[in-house]
């Protein structure tokens, strides 16, 4: 069973500032705010709600599973990372 968004959001918050790897291999970090995060060096903000929509789709079957959401590369990289998944999906 997939954990609810507050639990996953807490995990994402715990790893703020750590490196995450995009599909192409580039590494990024992010900053957390109340209800969104921002990849460092980017203007785009990714909302908690956006991650909630993606969480409804886990396990993600590739990047195309979230391509309709804001910042799909970042969402995919974060939600498929073992630090965030913790074996739950």
Q: Which of 17, 30, 13, 18 is nearest to 71 (CA)?
A: 30
- The number of CA neighbours under 13 Å toward the Cβ of 33 is 10
Distance CA 63, CA 18 (A): 21
Look up the pTM and report it: 0.95
pLDDT number for residue 56: 96
pLDDT tens figures, 23-67: 999 999 999 999 999 999 998 899 999 999 999 999 999 989 999
pLDDT tens figures, 8-26: 999 999 999 999 999 999 9
Give the domain ranges of the chain.
5-85
């Amino acid at each position: 069973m997939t954990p609810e968004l507050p639990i996953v959001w807490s995990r994402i918050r715990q790893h703020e500032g750590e490196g995450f790897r995009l599909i192409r291999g580039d590494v990024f970090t992010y900053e957390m705010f109340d209800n969104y995060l921002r990849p460092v060096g980017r203007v785009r903000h990714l909302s908690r709600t956006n991650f909630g929509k993606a969480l409804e789709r886990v396990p993600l079957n590739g990047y195309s599973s979230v391509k309709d959401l804001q910042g799909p590369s970042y969402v995919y990289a974060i939600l498929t990372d073992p630090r965030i998944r913790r074996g739950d999906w």
